[in-house]
Amino acid sequence: MLDFHKSDIPVVFVDDEQSELDAYSFLLQSMGVKKIITIKDSRSVMATLESLLTCVVFLDLNMPQKSGKEVLQELKVARPHIPVVICTANSDIETAVECLKLGAHDYLVKPINMNTFGSALRNALEISTLRQEVMNLKGFSLSQKLNHPEYFREIITKSPAMFTLFHYIEAIAPSGQPVLILGETGSGKELTARAIHDASGVTGDFVVVDVSGLDDPLFSDTLFGHKRGAYTGAEKDRPGLIKKANNGTLFLDEIGDLTKVSQIKLLRLVQEGLYYPLGSDQPKTSSTRIITATNKKLNHQVHSSEGAEEENSFRMDLFYRLSTHLLILPPLRERTEDIPLLVEHFKAKAADQMNREVVSIADSLIAILSTHPFPGNIRELKTYIFDAVARCTTRELTENDILDRLKPGMGVATKLRKDCAIDENSHKDQMGGIDALEYIFGGFPTLNQLTEYGIDQALKRSGNNQSKAAGMLGISKQALSKRLKKRRK
Ligand SMILES: Nc1ncnc2c1ncn2[C@@H]1O[C@H](COP(=O)(O)OP(=O)(O)OP(=O)(O)O)[C@@H](O)[C@H]1O
C-alpha cells in the first residue's frame, strides 16, 4: 500500500461545481496528498496536464463545457498511462460499463464513502507509480546509459545483470517505497542499499541496523527508542534509530531473522508510518525509507499471519509490503566476468593499504578463481585477495598466493564456521544464514554428488593432471581413472 504523504504524484480533480472541488481538495489535503490541482472548466484539462509528467485524475461526468466522457476519451488517446477515476452522481450501470470500456481506471458514485475514495485513490496512485517506473525502464533500455553512474561507483561490475539492476534502481529510487534486497551472503546487498539511498536524493542519513539476534525489546529500543523510566536503567529519553534516519533511509539487514512480535511493529511502521517509543502511548510518525535485506529464501518462510506458527516464519502481509520493489542480486559465480575487475580493484586497495607494490595479476590466478563457487561471494574474494597481497613476495599475484585458501577445509565456509563458533550439530549450521552446500548443489547433496563435485574440483585445480588430482582427493591414480571411466559410460 502507498502512503499518500510519501507520494509526489499530483492528484487532479475535475468538476464544474466549486463546492465539490473545495470539499475534495480539503479531503485530499487531510489525507496527506502533497500536490492537488482542481479544474472547474473541463476544456482546460488537456492544457493543464501538459506540464505534468504523470498524475491521477478524478473526473466528473456531467459538465457543461465538455462532458467527462469526452475528456476521458481525449486523455486515453493523448496520455494513456494516466489513471482516470470517474466520480459521478450517475449510478447507471451502462454508463459505468461504457466508461470502463473507454479506459477509466475506476468508477465511484456520489455521495462517495470516505473508505471507498481512499482505496480508489491509493490504487490509482500505485498504478501511476508503476506505470511511471515502466516508462523510466523503457527509457533507459533504449538509451542503455545510466543517468547517474556516480551512485554506483562503489559497485565494481561489468555484468549486464547488474546493470539491469542499476537501471531499475534509478527508476524506483525516487518513489520512497520499501525495497527488499535478496542475495547470498557477501553479494553486495548493503552496498546496493547505499546506492538506492544515494539515488533517491533524500537529505537524511543512511542508517544500518543488523536485526539478527535482536529480541523484540532490543529491536524496539534500537529502532523506536524509549522514554525515560520505560524500564530499569532507562535514565533518559532515547530517540531511536528511526529518528536518526528521518528523511533518509533505514537499512534493516538480516530481516529474515526478525521475531514475530517485531514483525507486527515493523508492519505498522511501513504501512502507517507510525511507531511507539518504549514507555510511550503517543505514536510518532516517521518519514524514513525502509530498505530490508536478507540472504535467506524469505519467500519460503512466508505464511499468512494466522498460520504463522513456525519458529522462523515470516508474515505474508509484511513480506509483500517490504517487497514493493524487489531486487535479487546474482551470486558472484553467476557473474564471473566481474572476477578480473574485482581482483584488480581489491589488489589495488590492499597494496595501497599495505604499502606494497604488486604490479600484475597472473592469468592463471583469474582462471582458478573463475572456477571457484564462492559461497561467500565478493566478501570471500576480497578476503583472499587482501591475504594474497600480504603474502605475495614478488611483484605479481599468482595462484600460489591463494591456492591453500581454496583447498577443501580452508575455504570460507570452514573459516566462518570456526570464526562464528557455530554448533555443527545444529540446523543453523550455516554461513551467515546460508548453507554452503545448498549454495553449490541447490539443496543438500547426496554422497554421490559430493564425490563427483570433489573430482571435478580436483581436476580443475590440478590443471587436469590426474596424478595431482588423485593426490588432492587422497586416492590412487588408478582409483581416480576407474571412476572417470565409469563416469564416461
Ligand atoms: N561489486 C562490488 N564491488 C566492490 N566491492 C564489493 C562489491 N560487492 C560487494 N563488495 C564488498 O564486499 C563486501 C560485502 O558486501 P556487502 O556487505 O554489501 O554484502 P552483503 O550482501 O550485505 O553481505 P551480508 O549478507 O553478509 O550482509 C563489502 O566489503 C563490500 O564493500
Which span out of 139-153, 226-240, 430-444 was modeled with the highest average pLDDT?
226-240
Which CATH class for the 446-489 domain?
A: mainly alpha
Per-residue confidence (pLDDT) for residue 411, from 0 to 100: 46
Instruction: Give the 3-state DSSP-derived string for 38-72, with helices as H, strands as E and coil as C.
Output: EECCHHHHHHHHHCCCCCEEEECCCCCCCCHHHHH
Of residues 74 and 415, which shows the higher confidence score?
A: 74
Mean pLDDT value across the chain: 83
pLDDT reading at 462 higher than 80: no
- Is there a contact between 303 and 310 (Cβ–Cβ < 8 Å)? yes
φ, ψ of residue 397 in degrees (nearest 5): -85, 120
Which CATH class for the 4-136 domain?
A: alpha beta
pLDDT reading at 272 higher than 90: no
- Cα dihedral 375, 380, 385, 390 in deg (nearest 10): -130
Q: Which three cell numbers stand for residue 75?
A: 486523455
Other CB atoms within 10 A of residue 107 CB: 21
Residue whose CB lies within 8 A of the most ligand 1 atoms, among 157, 180, 185, 190, for a mutation test: 190
Residue whose CB lies within 8 A of the most ligand 1 atoms, among 191, 333, 334, 345, for a mutation test: 191
Q: For residues 323-350, b (16+ Cβ closer than 10 Å) or e, as one string?
A: bbbebebbbbbebeebbbebbbbbbeeb
**Tens of pLDDT, residues 320-378:** 889 888 898 999 999 999 999 999 999 999 999 998 887 789 998 998 898 888 999 99
Per-residue confidence (pLDDT) for residue 439, from 0 to 100: 53
Per-residue confidence (pLDDT) for residue 342, from 0 to 100: 96
Whether the bond into 408 is cis, omega within 30 of 0: no
* Distances 441 to 374, 427, 483 between C-alpha atoms, Å: 13, 17, 21
- Is there a contact between 405 and 384 (Cβ–Cβ < 8 Å)? yes
Dihedral (CA of 127, 132, 133, 134) sign: positive
Q: Among residues of the chain, what percentage have pLDDT more than 90?
A: 38
Which atom of ligand 1 is closest in space to residue 295's alpha carbon?
25
Under CATH, which architecture does the 334-437 domain have?
A: Orthogonal Bundle (1.10)
φ, ψ of residue 391 in degrees (nearest 5): -90, -15
Per-residue confidence (pLDDT) for residue 311, from 0 to 100: 61
Which span out of 241-255, 267-281, 407-421 was modeled with the highest average pLDDT?
241-255
The 8 Å CB, 24+ separation contacts for 362-365 are: 362/396, 362/397, 362/398, 362/399, 364/398, 364/399, 365/397, 365/398, 365/399, 365/401, 365/402
| Three-state DSSP state, 362 | coil
What does the radius of gyration of the chain's CA atoms come to, in whole angstroms?
Answer: 29
Tracing cell 506458527 back to the chain, one arrives at 309
Distance between start and end Cα atoms, the chain = 57
Per-residue confidence (pLDDT) for residue 460, from 0 to 100: 76
pLDDT band at 314 (very low <50, low <70, confident <90, very high): confident
The number of C-alpha atoms within 13 Å of 291 and in the hemisphere containing its C-beta is 28
pLDDT band at 91 (very low <50, low <70, confident <90, very high): confident
For residues 155 and 335, give the distance between their C-alpha atoms in angstroms, rounded to a whole number.
Answer: 13
Number of H helices, E strands in the chain: 21, 16
pLDDT band at 451 (very low <50, low <70, confident <90, very high): confident
Per-residue confidence (pLDDT) for residue 414, from 0 to 100: 40
pLDDT reading at 209 higher than 80: yes
What's the average model confidence in pLDDT over 96-114? 89
Residue 330 DSSP one-character state:
P
Which atom of ligand 1 is closest in space to residue 156's alpha carbon?
3
Per-residue confidence (pLDDT) for residue 361, from 0 to 100: 92
Per-residue confidence (pLDDT) for residue 422, from 0 to 100: 32
Amino acid in the structure at residue 151: Y
The residues facing 278 across adjacent strands are 226
The residues facing 434 across adjacent strands are 431
Which atom of ligand 1 is closest in space to residue 187's alpha carbon?
21
pLDDT band at 303 (very low <50, low <70, confident <90, very high): low
Per-residue confidence (pLDDT) for residue 427, from 0 to 100: 34
Q: Where are the domains of the chain?
A: 4-136, 149-330, 334-437, 446-489
Per-residue confidence (pLDDT) for residue 160, from 0 to 100: 85
Question: What ipTM, to 2 d.p.?
Answer: 0.98
Q: Which residues line ligand 1 (CB under 6 A)?
A: 155-157, 183, 185-191, 253, 295, 342, 378-379, 382, 432
φ, ψ of residue 272 in degrees (nearest 5): -110, -5
Nearest CA residue ID for atom 13, ligand 1 = 379
Of residues 285 and 51, which shows the higher confidence score?
A: 285
Find the angle CA(258)-CA(262)-CA(264) to the nearest 5 degrees.
115
Per-residue confidence (pLDDT) for residue 426, from 0 to 100: 35
Per-residue confidence (pLDDT) for residue 156, from 0 to 100: 96
Q: Quote the CATH superfamily of domain 149-330.
A: P-loop containing nucleotide triphosphate hydrolases (3.40.50.300)
**Tens of pLDDT, residues 359-368:** 789 998 998 8
Q: Do domains 149-330 and 334-437 have the same CATH topology?
A: no
Ligand 1 centroid to residue 189 C-alpha, Å: 6
- Cα dihedral 283, 289, 293, 298 in deg (nearest 10): 60
Q: Among residues of the chain, what percentage have pLDDT more than 70?
A: 85
Per-residue confidence (pLDDT) for residue 481, from 0 to 100: 84
402: nearest Cα among 361, 433, 439: 361
pLDDT reading at 77 higher than 90: no
Ligand 1 centroid to residue 482 C-alpha, Å: 42
Ligand 1 centroid to residue 155 C-alpha, Å: 9
Per-residue confidence (pLDDT) for residue 179, from 0 to 100: 94
What's the average model confidence in pLDDT over 287-311? 74
**Tens of pLDDT, residues 384-409:** 999 889 888 888 998 888 877 776 54
pLDDT reading at 134 higher than 90: no
